[in-house]
Amino acid sequence: MPAKNLLTKECKEVIALDFSSSSVRVLYCGDSKPGFFSYSLAPFLLREKLPVLEGLLEVLSWVERDLGLELQHNGHWRPSIVLVGRLVSLELKKILSYPPLDPLMLLRRLKRLVFFARSGIVAFDNHWVSGDVDPEKVVRWLPFPLNPNDLADYLFNVSLFTQTIPDTRESLYIKQALVRESLKQLVGKISGRDGFYNSLNKGKSLLIGSAFSQVVSPSQAVSIFLDGVRPRGAVFLERDLDQWLPCLLVLYCYYPKIAKKAVKYWPRNFLGTAVGLGMEANGTLILDDKTTSEFHLGEGELFQFFVPASKSGWLRARTRNGLSDYRVRGGEAGLIIDTRSYDLILPESFEQRKMLLDKWAGEVGARGQKSQF
């Protein structure tokens, strides 16, 4: 079958690809509902030793069936996109000629708050934090000792050789610590913070970036958000688990109208509800099916109810400020209540910090006491 250029007027399909070190995400936009597909690259790399390109690419042509991927959309098989072997037309040069893509350019069109975070970069609305976080504050979030100067050297090397430094347990801790402190600094820059916190309580907040997707559990993604943002009241959280944002951005460069349509069908994972109380609290969780559960939490605790995505209800919490009711929904992480101080100042002593970090990790991880519905 001869190659067919996707940009011809006769062909309405557009395919955007995002290559990373381990997978490829394919966004297919045809005449109707867009299709989102994600595949592992490992089998293809073993057969053809194809060097994996980091960045945003758009494939502009159909190719013959060969080693590669077949896309199924609305029950119909489409010609395969070859990832190993021949690519008829790869317009990488054209894409690189564009200025750096602003992830929030497209995301501002969503009717929700968006937090974009990957190692070294955190963004919210028009506010950015990139590379200017104090290493001494970052190391306070680490469960192992690390000299701030060594951290600064490590982060500099990562910025130069992103793909050659392997992901280790320690590097993931560093990435998460960097995002926690960056979020904290970002929120501190926002003027009219009362309005910001009020807006968090309306609608859903979307967590985007590898810092929220490359975690051991959904609860850890919520924990990073709570540590850095310190919300007041209830916040509904969802995340871009499969990291579709790069595909949408490439599509937005060439076809903004199609990208806006694709955003409506963008698959997102609902994490659940986080409730920041900031002080000692007790109360009752009352689900819509009349199931109830009481809680009594001292100041400085995290507590997790495993509420499935199919359930919702009300959290009635009493603090020294009075009685408040919060609408809650279940999700991958259920419901997480946070009674830690809104300031959340970590101790100077490493031993005390580690004890606290381990305690918090246990309260929203596999080791903590939880209630299940």
* Residue 244 and residue 319 in one domain: yes
Q: Which residues contact 52 (CB under 8 A, 6 or more apart)?
A: 19, 20, 21, 41, 45
* Residue 89 and residue 121 in one domain: no
Among 71, 96, 121, residue at a domain's last position: 96
* Residue 139 and residue 41 in one domain: no
Q: 10-residue block means of pLDDT along the chain (373 residues)? A: 30 50 56 59 36 36 33 38 34 48 62 68 63 84 91 78 65 87 84 77 81 85 93 92 71 71 81 96 96 95 93 96 96 95 90 91 61 56
Pairing status of strand 233-239 against strand 204-208: parallel
Closest CA to 332 of 266, 244, 273, 267: 273
pLDDT at 170: 85
pLDDT at 194: 76
Residue 218 lies in a domain: yes
pLDDT at 35: 63
* Residue 219 and residue 312 in one domain: yes
pLDDT at 67: 29
For the chain, how many structural domains are there in total?
2
Among 96, 129, 150, residue at a domain's last position: 96
- What pTM value is reported for the model? 0.76
**Cα–Cα–Cα angle for 239, 58, 104, nearest 5°?**
40
Cβ distance 217 to 241 under 8 Å?
Answer: no
pLDDT at 4: 31
Residue 4 lies in a domain: no
Cβ distance 273 to 242 under 8 Å?
Answer: no
* Residue 199 and residue 346 in one domain: yes
Q: Which residues contact 357 (CB under 8 A, 6 or more apart)?
A: 141, 143
